[in-house]
Amino acid sequence: MIISNSFIQSTRARHSDFTTSKDDEPLIVQFAASTSEDLVDATRLVVPYCDGVDLNCGCPQRWAISEGYGACLIHKPHLVADMIRQTRNYVVDQGFTVSVKLRLHKDHKKTVDFARQIEAAGASFITVHGRTQEQRSEPVSYNAIHDIKKAVRIPVIANGDIRTLEDAHRIHDATEVNGVMAARGILDNPAMFAGYDFTPLECVKDWLDLALSSGTHFSCFHHHLIYMLNKSLTRAEKKHFNVLGSASGVLTFLNEKYCI
């Protein structure tokens, strides 16, 4: 989730928050925005480098809510519809997607109405995290996601509590959605959708090759490895690995631990 206002105003923020390569496709860039102008202006900056933009209407963190970002936007359907409409009108290429990720209202019928308004404004697809703004670890509402799927014609993606391939199949069967999205689960195990229970060593090797060949910033390079190795390192090893400050230090550790 990239903060659109900062992204527009600061070259440093753009360099810090958004890097890609010609092989990174399809790529969708997600923005937090509180005005139509900000979303359009942020989109203008990334259009040449991606295949779509997504508006975050789901982040429940207090700082985001206080700034008018994230989940608070589900209570501002007319604003969100205008943000989608103006962004859709700005991008001539109809193959470029403009989508929304949202959370549920306490009254799920309001979320269905919200989804219909988003569709009418020209959204390409909708992702639904099956919890309300206040919920954190409560079970995802499959029924609410299913109701939204049935109410709109555009594709609906389900999100929440997907940590294994079996979870993905289960939520798909329960909701009849067009796809599923994983966050923490795919960070912990990028090979999850291939059926692996934890990150295989081959996946770690692939990440090293991709990151080093594309010049990925160290913080991103290291951060993803911290997630991937979470289940395979001892507590003492995690403590040491997590504070490493250079790519050479990381590579030395991995060579000594895994001979890679």
Residue with the two structure tokens 């390569």? 21
Residue 203 DSSP SS3: helix
Active site residue 59: yes
Rounded Cα distance, 128 and 124, in Å? 14
Q: Which is nearest to 127 in space by CA: 225, 74, 215, 54?
A: 54
Rounded Cα distance, 80 and 98, in Å? 12
Which secondary structure element, helix H or strand E, spans residue 127, and what is its range? Answer: strand 126-132
Residue with the two structure tokens 């700082």? 63
Residue with the two structure tokens 């005005």? 35
Quote the distance between the C-alpha of residue 127 and its chain's center: 10
Exactly one of 57, 59, 203, 220 is catalytic; which is it?
59
- Asked if omega into 48 is within 30° of 0 (cis), the reply is no
Quote the distance between the C-alpha of residue 229 and its chain's center: 21
52-57 β-sheet, strand order: 2-3, 28-32, 52-57, 97-104, 126-132, 156-159, 179-181
**Residue 35, φ and ψ in degrees, nearest 5:** -140, 155
**Active site amino acids:** 59
